[in-house]
Amino acid sequence: MLYYRNWSRGGRLFLWFLLGFAVIAVLVMFDRTASFDNFIIRNVQSAESPVLTAIAKNLSLVGSTWFVVVISLVTITLLFLVLKHRMELILFVWVAVGSQLLNTLFKFWFRRERPTIHRLIEQEGFSFPSGHSMAAFSLYGAIAYLLWRHMRHRAQRILLILFTVLMTAGIGWSRVYLGVHYPSDVIGGYAASGAWLMLSIAIFEAYRTRKQRK
């Protein structure tokens, strides 16, 4: 079980996401992301328009805490009352709550100030990693995993993945466009949430396999 090749896919992805977050975190700590961040910000904000601003604000709203809570409550209700999936409910709540706690911990650990160039909205709190990005990756990633297991048609799975990727990427883009996060905040948020989600899935699958064997 200690050999990497014997790990589950979730376990292997956890290590890759963790490594990615570690690299980004070190670069942020030593202020080595400025050139990359400024280049991306200039290119993203150079396309500013009333239409894109409205889209970015709506996407940012979708990734906000209250919206995530609403979606989570709806998902929990479906899992518990309609589908009777108790173990999947525990996984979903575990991922959602853990992601929020990790984001709070990381923000106070790194204490990175938000960008001060051309903000389209105001946002309080520290910058790294992006809370919206972590919440989006955890929420939509967990929902995609749970739905994927019950889908049998290829077309359904393709649409599910497309929706998940577009929503998660769109929320991250909106935070950079609106000037409240550095691109490295968004990428770091994806990596942190990815590691947490993959670790949670690996544990869930290991427990489920062990239970089935018994």
Q: How far apart, in whole angstroms, are the C-alpha atoms of residue 135 and residue 141?
A: 9
Per residue in 175-196, pLDDT tens?
999 999 999 999 999 999 999 9
Listed in sequence order, the residues at least 6 apart from 13 whose beta carbon sits closer than 8 Å to its beta carbon are 194, 198
Coil vs helix vs strand at 115: coil
Per residue in 120-142, pLDDT tens?
888 888 999 999 999 999 989 99
Both structure tokens of 98: 């853990």
Stated pTM of the model: 0.89
Domain ranges of the chain: 8-213
